[in-house]
Structure 1
Amino acid sequence: MIRHIVMWKFRPGTEAEQAEFLKGLRSLQGVIPQLLRSEAAVNVGAGNYDAVLVSEFESLEALEQYKNDPRHKAVSALCKSIREDRVAVDYEF
């Protein structure tokens, strides 16, 4: 099993787009078959990254299939237009 964790910092003034992006991420659960579990949340603290995604996949191959799914790419494109920074970690568990 693979856990995929991504965090983002967003540009100021993009709050509406941030909400749309996170809603889009959440909508992928149950739609893209490789995505076994996911949780997208907004940071409630200050001075750190703004949002996080924690998701689970059977394998690295399944994660790659998810990343290349057109539905994920559409959501990702919105994120790329509003983010300042992104960090990610994938690990086996």
Structure 2
Amino acid sequence: MIKHIVAWNFIEGLSNADKHVNAEKIKQELEGLKLLIPGIISMKVVTEPLKTGDFDFILISEFESEEALASYQTHKEHQRISQFGRSILCNRKCIDFQMESE
């Protein structure tokens, strides 16, 4: 299983109301990809992380394989959501790793 964690900050100049509305929109769309793209095990978006962290918006997802992750990354619906995300999010950081079987 592959773990894919991505974190962003909102661009400067967005109001708190705009941040909230846009975060909820992207959250629903990203979490909905589980029903559209084969190989996604789970997709969870955190829109209100603790203030002790460095990021505003976090995606935590799991994939069956590296191939499934690659398919997700190039899927047209993911690309559409990403394009919108780039208009309101910045400072992207990504961590991908293989989970060991327990």
TM-score clears 0.5: yes
> Which residue number corresponds to residue 33 of structure 1?
38
Q: What SS does structure 1 have at the residue aligned with 2:92?
A: strand
Measure how far apart 1:83 and its partner are. Answer: 1.1
Q: What SS does structure 2 have at the residue aligned with 1:71?
A: helix
> Which residue number corresponds to residue 90 of structure 1?
96
Larger Rg: 2
Matches within 5 A, 1:4-43: 4-11=4-11, 12-13=13-14, 14-15=18-19, 16-43=21-48
Measure how far apart 1:29 and its partner are. Answer: 1.7
Pairing partner for 1:44 from 43, 49, 54: 49
Measure how far apart 1:58 and its partner are. Answer: 1.6
Measure how far apart 1:64 and its partner are. Answer: 0.6
Measure how far apart 1:84 and its partner are. Answer: 2.0
What's the C-alpha RMSD, in Å, of the aligned pairs? 1.5
Measured in 2, the distance between the counterparts of 1:77 and 1:34 equals 22
Normalising by structure 1, what TM-score?
Answer: 0.88
- Size of the alignment, in residue pairs? 93
Measure how far apart 1:2 and its partner are. Answer: 0.5
Any stretches of 5+ residues in structure 2 without a counterpart? none
Measured in 2, the distance between the counterparts of 1:54 and 1:38 equals 6
Normalising by structure 2, what TM-score?
Answer: 0.81
After TM superposition, the runs of 4+ consecutive aligned structure 1 residues lying more than 6 A away are none
Any stretches of 5+ residues in structure 1 without a counterpart? none
Q: Deviations over 1:19-78 (max 9, x none)?
A: 211221111122211211111111332262011111111211110101101011111111
Q: What SS does structure 2 have at the residue aligned with 1:55?
A: strand
